[in-house]
């Protein structure tokens, strides 16, 4: 069975991520197959819209399949991961700029690479079981796949909070933060999909969004996460009362310090120029170097390989942040529609 099921039904081009036992984690091959389908459907008059969903009942897509990246990097081969990220980021940009409607059904876990596939779509649907997050700082990466654009556009400093903590958003939070558009109970999704197959976008009949903790906490978050750097944020959080501060202290304490320092910087830069190209360019400066210079290998070891949840993060200083965020020159991303 294919890892991604690609077909046309009625007026819809349909993409189903099909690795349910792996929570539909994206492989490099899946990214290339999805991009190829989008390229074919772009100018096909028989295809009015695109639908993307995930097989199984646990996840739309819980992230990228990073085991191969880890194995290749341990061998000293950093090119594999760098090429994976280049191709994935090109797909993320293509989804954001796609000329036809793309409807994503974000059930269960949508994290990391899943955000890149599902949350740049034009119509993003969530349900009661939706849990959306950018938890990359927990494995020594920064929020990527264009996620820094979504974080930069979130109300106030909500995006900085989400990027540093990796906190999971439910349906109400995701809509408030701009990671989703429509709340529709899961039992109604089959009817929505049937309407979309007929080419009818009006089949998306959303209900009022559920309440959002993020919305209730925004004033607190804006005080705590408005610092110019991660040291300022740590200082603000130190003895601060309130539910956002309490949750943030717990989540941040486990994350890679260098990754968080760079994440604050990237999100701030993208706020000044909120385009997906800007976001991906800054993200790739870090991910291109993450295995050789950052904490990515240690983060994956602790979370996925040994599963001891006890990473030994490196200490860092301003020079390390500068080194991880410097322009890549000839190795920078170029925006050509070549696979």
Q: What is the pLDDT tens value at each position of the chain, 339 positions in all?
A: 799 999 999 999 999 999 999 999 999 999 999 999 999 999 999 999 999 999 999 999 999 888 888 889 889 899 999 999 999 999 999 999 999 999 999 999 999 999 999 999 999 999 999 999 999 999 999 999 999 999 999 999 999 999 999 999 999 999 999 999 999 999 999 999 999 999 999 999 989 999 999 999 999 999 999 999 999 999 999 999 999 999 999 999 999 999 999 999 999 999 999 999 999 999 999 999 999 999 999 999 999 899 999 999 999 999 999 999 999 999 999 886 544
* Active-site option among 13, 54, 63, 64: 64
* Of residues 96, 115, 97, the one with CA closest to residue 106: 115
Where do runs of H (alpha helix) occur along 75-229?
A: 79-96, 113-118, 147-153, 158-165, 171-177, 189-197, 213-224
As given in the structure block, the two tokens for residue 139 are 């494995």
* Active-site option among 35, 53, 88, 136: 136
As given in the structure block, the two tokens for residue 294 are 């950052």
* Active-site option among 54, 112, 113, 116: 113
Tally of CA atoms within 13 A in the half-sphere of 203 that contains its CB: 18
* Active-site option among 144, 170, 173, 283: 144
Task: Label each residue of 274-307 as H, E or C.
Answer: CCHHHHHHHHHHHHHHHHHHCCHHHHHHHHHHCC
- Catalytic site residue 317? no
Domains along the sequence of the chain with CATH = 4-331 (3.90.226.10)
- Catalytic site residue 112? no
Burial letters 29-45, b for 16+ CB under 10 A, else e: ebbbbbbebbeebeeee
Q: Which SS3 state, helix, strand or coil, does residue 194 take?
A: helix
pLDDT at 337: 53
- Catalytic site residue 64? yes
- Catalytic site residue 283? no
């Amino acid at each position: 069975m294919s890892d991604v099921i690609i077909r046309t039904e009625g007026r819809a081009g349909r993409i189903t991520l099909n690795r349910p036992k792996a929570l539909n984690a994206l492989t490099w091959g899946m990214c290339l197959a999805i991009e190829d389908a989008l390229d074919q459907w772009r100018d096909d008059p028989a295809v009015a819209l695109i639908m993307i969903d995930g097989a199984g009942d646990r996840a739309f897509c819980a992230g990228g399949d990073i085991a191969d990246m880890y194995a290749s990097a341990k061998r000293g081969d950093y090119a594999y991961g760098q090429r994976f990220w280049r191709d994935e980021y090109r797909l993320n940009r293509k989804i954001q700029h796609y000329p036809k409607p793309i409807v994503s059904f974000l059930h269960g876990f949508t994290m990391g690479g899943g955000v890149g596939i599902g949350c740049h779509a034009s119509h993003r649907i969530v349900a009661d079981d939706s849990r959306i997050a950018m938890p990359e700082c927990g494995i020594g990466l920064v929020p990527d796949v264009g996620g820094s654009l979504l974080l930069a556009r979130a109300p106030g400093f909500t995006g900085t909070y989400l990027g540093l903590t990796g906190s999971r958003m439910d349906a109400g939070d995701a809509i408030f933060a701009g990671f989703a558009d429509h709340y529709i109970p899961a039992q109604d999704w089959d009817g929505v999909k049937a309407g979309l197959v007929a080419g009818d976008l009006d089949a998306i009949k959303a209900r009022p969004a559920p309440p959002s903790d993020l919305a209730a906490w925004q004033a607190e978050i804006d005080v705590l996460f408005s610092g110019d750097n991660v040291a300022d944020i740590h200082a603000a959080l130190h003895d601060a009362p309130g539910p956002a501060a309490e949750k943030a202290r717990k989540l941040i304490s486990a994350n890679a310090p260098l990754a968080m320092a760079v994440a604050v910087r990237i999100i701030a830069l993208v706020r000044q120029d909120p385009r997906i190209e800007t976001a991906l360019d800054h993200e790739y400066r870090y991910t291109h170097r993450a295995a050789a210079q950052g904490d990515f290998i240690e983060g994956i070891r602790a979370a996925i390989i040994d599963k001891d949840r006890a990473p030994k993060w490196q200490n860092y200083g301003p020079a390390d942040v500068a080194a991880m965020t410097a322009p890549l020159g000839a190795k920078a991303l170029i925006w050509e529609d070549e696979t």
